[in-house]
Structure 1
Amino acid sequence: MRIRLPARCGGPARSGTPARAPSRRTARRALPAVVALTLLVPMYACRAVPTPPSAPTPWPAGYAHRWQWQWQLTGPVDTTVEADVFLLDPVRTTSAETAELRRRDRRLVCQVHVGSYADTDPDATRFPAAVRGVATDRPRRHWLDVRRWDVLRPVLADRFRLCRGKGFGAVALADADGYAHRSGFPLHFDDQLRFNRRVATLARSLELSPGLVDDLDQVAALAPDFDFAVNEECVRLHRCAKLLPFTEAHKPVFHVEYTGTTATFCVTTVGYGFASMRKQRDLGPWRDPCPLP
């Protein structure tokens, strides 16, 4: 994401009298100071305003544990939620909604199912029978044979282009753990690693910051390849420590629990450095975020 400064941050307003141009010698002497000021102004002088994305979303290391986030996949997108990061469905979300969120200086992440397809997906017919596996634990969704990169790559590339076209700067890769399930294919640990790395590389080539959804048993190997992680219910499942390779690398972990209360699980997850909240399983607009540390 490119960052531009508002007009009020660039210096005093122009008056009716034009300023005298500096001499060449004066300009050379002033250059180091101008460069330093350019670097410091976004941090100290005013709030940066995003322009339409043309690069992967940045995740400043110093803010890794301070993001507030929203994950909404059902219902009209509530653009007024006080969150820094929005994880949304790129098909259901409109360009008007993403434009409004970007106007409010929000970071936008699209969720793309890279290892599965649903009968209702607009591009479902692009997957030939040879790569279609058995049903996942979600209604009408089936696993894909992630060994067939030649078949899956063009479809995934178009899904990522849809994200870019609607103004997203990052993508969360869902169902990237088919090897750990009964997928209908003899997938192995290394097959999944190879596929997930290829998808992360593809996302970067299309100017999207890649994030890994769940797939906890491969986090130690994949954390260097991804910019952030999204996790469901690591507290309930007693697996939060698996995500430490991300936080130790100062990369954000966006975490959600569907049961319990923030009063009980936030102590654990905020201590790990996660951005955590409570959600309902339908992932509608309601959220109960953990307080910032």
Structure 2
Amino acid sequence: MLLSSYRISPLLLLALLGFADLRKITALPTPVGTVESQSHQETELERRSTSISQKGPVLEDRASSVNWWVPTQKTTWQVQLSGTIDRRFKGNAIEFDADTDAATVKYFKSKGIKTIAYISAGSWENWRSDAKKFPKSVIGKPLDGWPGESWLDTRQINTLKPLMQARLNVAKAKGFDGVDWDNVDGYTQNSGFKITAAHQIAYNRMLADISHAQRMTVALKNDLGQAAALAPYFDFAVNEQCGYYQECNLLEPFLKAGKAVVGLEYPGEGDDKRTYAQVKARTDPRTYTLIKKLDLGAWGIVVSTKKSVLS
């Protein structure tokens, strides 16, 4: 799968699941690796998901004291996940697939451009070189519209963590500066598993932890319903279509903390009939938002300037 677009409003889904107050979490449980042990974890999360006053405790920002590169709201971006990587990009940071050869990573680094590895952490992709290492027990229902790709049972952290760690190690060895873990909102999807919001938070925090252990910057992809709870553990956010779904306000925890937000909008693709002017009107100037095609090739328009991302 390339970058996954929303199918269900996270806020609505959280409300249905009884996690509408998730943004007020003051502490989070330690990730637990087995499916059987998750019931205690979920109970603990629910217990701690209580309202706090303005003078009450707040989450410590664990991504604030770092020894790795962290983007800012002034960072300029390109995201290309299909086709030959276009080397004309002259901005600050570029994201492309982790399977891209090390020579491409080295080229951009030689130009002073930071590189972000795209890795799907929540889906099994049958074309990946490590596909056979995933046990059948963690492979769920297919992702709608993405042949060869199925949801993963992210409750099984002990099984998935070493697989994700191995992928991360390869990306680090190639020289990538950071990672964008995709499909980390399986709890909102028809995955074939009873993944809860608590399970998802535990899994996503694990991804942040292993990334930081490698001194790599890490993005929270989509998962807007948990953005407030997870913002302290992630360095920046990558979001698709928040303008189209009118959910960009849910990125405020990142923006208020001064963290970068990379926006991707797809006007003219599928049911999205918006014009450039309509996209720009809904774009927060604190974000770096690109107009892209769904295939996420080299083409792109910077919303703030209406210029090519390659210019």
Q: Same fold (TM over 0.5)?
A: yes
Partner of 1:265: 279
Tell me, in whole angstroms, the C-alpha distance in 2 between the residues paired with 1:56 and 1:151: 27
Report the 3-state secondary structure (helix = DSSP H, G, I; strand = E; otherwise coil) of the residue aligned with 1:191: helix
| Counterpart in the other structure of 1:121 | 128
Q: Is the 8 A contact 1:68 1:289 kept in 2?
A: no
Q: 1:139 aligns to what SS in structure 2?
A: coil
Residues 104-253 of structure 1 mapped to structure 2, 5 A cutoff: 104-137=111-144, 138-253=146-261
Match of 2:289 among 276, 281, 290: 276
Which AA in structure 2 matches 1:203? S
Equivalent-residue separation in structure 2 for 1:205 and 1:162 (angstroms) = 14
User: Does residue 58 in structure 1 map to residue 70 in structure 2?
Assistant: yes
User: What whole-Å deviation, never above 9, does each CA across 1:154-199 have from its counterpart, x for those lacking one?
Assistant: 1100110111111111111101011110111111110101111011
Structure 2 residue identity aligned to 1:288: I
Match of 2:51 in 1: none
1:268 positional shift: 2.9
For residues 269 and 110 of structure 1, what CA distance do their matches in structure 2 show? 25
CA distance in structure 1 between the aligned counterparts of 2:248 and 2:222, rounded to whole angstroms:
11
Which string of whole-angstrom CA distances, capped at 9 and with x for unpartnered residues, describes residues 79-116 of structure 1? Answer: 2113211111011x221111111111111111111111
The offset of 1:249, in angstroms, is 0.5
- 1:26 corresponds in structure 2 to none
Q: Distance in 1 between matches of 2:76 and 2:252?
A: 19
- The superposition leaves residues 19-38 of structure 1 with CA deviations (integer Å, 9 ceiling, x where unpaired) of xxxxxxxxxxxxxxxxxxxx
CA distance in 1, matches of 2:119, 2:264: 18
Do the aligned partners of residues 147 and 226 (structure 1) sit closer, same or farther apart at CA in structure 2, a change above 3 Å counting?
A: same
Question: What letter corresponds to residue 125 of structure 1 in structure 2?
Answer: K
TM-score (norm 1): 0.76
Q: Counterparts of 1:132 and 1:242 in 2: how far apart (Å)? A: 30
Aligned residue number for residue 94 of structure 1: 101
TM-score by length of 2: 0.72
Q: RMSD across aligned C-alpha pairs, in angstroms? A: 1.5
Letter in 2 for 1:287: G
Alignment of 1:5-84 (within 5 A): 56-59=68-71, 63-64=72-73, 66-84=74-92
What secondary structure is seen at the aligned counterpart in 2 of 1:194? helix
Query: How far 1:263 sits from its partner (Å)?
Result: 3.1
Q: Within 2, Cα distance between the matches of 1:83 and 1:269?
A: 20
Q: Distance in 1 between matches of 2:177 and 2:109?
A: 10
Using CA pairs under 8 Å that are at least 6 residues apart, name the structure with larger relative contact order, 1 or 2.
2
CA distance in structure 2 between the aligned counterparts of 1:269 and 1:234, rounded to whole angstroms: 9
Aligned mates of 2:128, 2:261 — CA distance in 1: 28
Partner of 2:9: none
Q: Deviations over 1:189-218 (max 9, x none)?
A: 101011110111011112211111101111
CA distance, structure 1, for counterparts of residue 244 and residue 106 of structure 2: 36
**Aligned counterpart for 1:286 among listed residues 292, 299, 302:** 299
Gaps of 5+ in 2: 1-66, 268-273, 306-311
User: Could you list the runs of 5+ residues in structure 1 that have no partner in the other structure?
Assistant: 1-54
For residue 16 of structure 1, what is the aligned residue in structure 2? none
- What amino acid maps onto 2:303 in structure 1? C
**268 and 249 in structure 1: CA distance in 2 versus 1, 3 angstrom threshold:** same
State how far apart, in whole Å, the 1-side matches of 2:259 and 2:135 are: 37
Return closer, same or farther for 1:102/1:243 CA change in 2, 3 Å cut-off.
same
Q: 2 CA distance for matches of 1:258 and 1:126?
A: 34
**For the residues of structure 1 that align with 2:291 and 2:190, how far apart are their CA atoms?**
29
